[in-house]
Amino acid sequence: MLVIKNLKANVEGKEILKGINLEVKAGEIHAIMGPNGSGKSTLANVLTGNENYEVTDGEVLFDGKNLLEMDPETRAREGMFLAFQYPIEIPGVSNATFLKTALNEIRKYKGLEEITPKEFLALIKEKASLLGMDDAMISRYVNVGFSGGEKKRNEILQMLMLEPKFVLLDETDSGLDIDALKIVANGVNIYKNPNTAFLVVTHYQRLLNYIVPDFVHVLYKGRIIKSGTKELALELEDKGYDWLIKEEEMEK
Ligand code: ADP
Ligand code: MG
Ligand code: MG
């Protein structure tokens, strides 16, 4: 589903990603871990098309299509979903209106008819109730005055409504408390299915207690220096990153 080949990227003229290779298949959950400043958020930003990040080499194929040529809106219509570290507030636009518009954009792109208001209401109520969200949240302005946990839950509601093929979660440094972590993890576990892939970016192992990854990759200085299964995450929790970094430096 997602194939990243020798991806290099600059931020403000400085090379941050130095040749990333990664393949994520449908149905898989991959975790990207690594010390602070290793380029995890940079990778997430490049994948979602943030224009402050300049790709200098390599390619990314999303379902066989050149992802790097697509603008962020096209990426979303093609089925890529980014859960923001800091979800944006949209005063004056209700959650229902926002989600109906987004959903219809995607349906139109796929050549499907617009969802009827009745179908939409039934769908959003069903998804909100799966997440234990109060119906009142549906008519409130997007994220305005929401608590941290409510914003997280709202983000997950967006994911359940839009049914993306590829979900990118950047939870690094977000200072999520355990309840918010559980909300995110619960949403991922509800949504997890054979047609969808997840890339979970996290500094700490604790999120992976709730979202069990199939593969774990360690990013360091813009390169993946180790890949493994969920046991690697546990080892990192136990021993930190230093031993891996020493191994890496020895090899040079
Ligand atoms: P991580 O998410 O792994 O902590 P980042 O991708 O946020 O790492 O950062 C990698 C490096 O890129 C760091 O040295 C950071 O200072 C730099 N960097 C990231 N974003 C920017 C930016 N917008 N402006 C300047 N430097 C940046
Ligand atoms: Mg950081
Ligand atoms: Mg980060």
Cβ of 16 below 6 Å from ligand 1: yes
Neighbours of ion ligand 2 (CB under 5 A): 36, 173
Q: Which amino acid is at 225?
A: I
Domain boundaries, the chain: 2-251
Q: What pLDDT is attached to residue 85?
A: 62
* Cα of 95 from ligand 1 centre, angstroms: 31
Q: What pLDDT is attached to residue 149?
A: 81
Q: Which amino acid is at 37?
A: G
8 Å CB contact between 222 and 248: no
> What superfamily in CATH does domain 2-251 come from?
P-loop containing nucleotide triphosphate hydrolases (3.40.50.300)
What SS3 class is residue 150?
Answer: helix
Residue 9, CA distances (Å) to 31, 46, 61, 227 in order: 20, 8, 16, 21
Residue 214, CA distances (Å) to 30, 67, 197, 200 in order: 6, 24, 11, 11
Q: What pLDDT is attached to residue 86?
A: 66
Cβ of 164 below 6 Å from ligand 1: no
Whole-model pTM: value is 0.92
ipTM of the complex: 0.92
Residue whose pair of structure tokens reads 């208001």 in the numeric block: 117
* Cα of 150 from ligand 2 centre, angstroms: 23
Of the candidates 190, 174, 204, 150, the one whose C-alpha atom is nearest the C-alpha of residue 86 is 174
Residue 36 structure tokens? 């602070």
Among 20, 40, 41, 53, which residue has the most ligand 1 atoms within 8 Å of its CB, making it the best to mutate? Answer: 41
Q: What pLDDT is attached to residue 182?
A: 84
Q: Hey, which residues does 3 pair with through a beta bridge?
A: 23, 61
pLDDT less than 70: residues of the chain: 84-86, 172-176
Return the beta strands (E) in the chain as ranges.
Answer: 2-11, 14-24, 29-33, 53-62, 65-66, 80-83, 90-94, 141-142, 166-170, 197-201, 215-220, 223-228
